[in-house]
Structure 1
Amino acid sequence: MSGMYIVVFKDYVTNDQILDAVAGVRSAGGQIREVYTSVLKGFSATIPDSYFSQLQSLVGGPIDYIEEDQVLSIF
């Protein structure tokens, strides 16, 4: 199974490091939706469960947080 997530990196992380993580997601069979490099650093992607745990282990290091991507609506 795969889930949709937004992965946000800490400010000191370089764009090359973000692109390395993007490549890892792709090689694990994930699909990148968007890469963010200005307001926040990170990406949104469909990430296979098998690779998600590897990314999750980096929270507190170069990754600031990972959230499930969801649709918000305002009435």
Structure 2
Amino acid sequence: MSHGKYIVVFKEGTAQDLIDGAEQDVIAQGGKITHRYSATFKGFAAEIPDNALSVFTTNVAVDSIEPDGEVSIYAKQQLAKK
């Protein structure tokens, strides 16, 4: 069974028991919670089996589901001309 890595973000005001239930759904489907978010938004990062992803896309409490991955920043510094 293939697993994808996703960040699941819940709508503002979503009750914690609904989020806890969603986490349990991930685990029951053979997935794994890898991080919980609560400071800037309510949600979690998880490895979710591909066949269980539709449970979250139809959940009205879910604001968004995004693929989880590395983010890098590349900046080029320019020297001031004298």
TM-score by length of 2: 0.84
2:68 is matched with: 69
> Match for 1:15: what amino acid?
Q
For the residues of structure 1 that align with 2:30 and 2:10, how far apart are their CA atoms? 21
Q: How many residues align?
A: 73
| Percentage of identical aligned residues | 40
Structural RMSD (CA): 0.9
Extract structure 1 runs of 4+ deviating beyond 3 A.
none
Q: Residue type matched to 1:74 in 2?
A: I
Q: What displacement does 1:15 show?
A: 1.3
Give 1:37 shift: 2.1
Q: Taking structure 1 as the reference length, what is the TM-score of the superposition? A: 0.91
Residue 22 (structure 1) shift: 0.2
Alpha-carbon deviation of 1:35?
1.2
Question: Does the residue aligned with 1:32 lie in a helix, a strand or coil?
Answer: strand
State the shift of 1:2 in Å.
Answer: 0.8
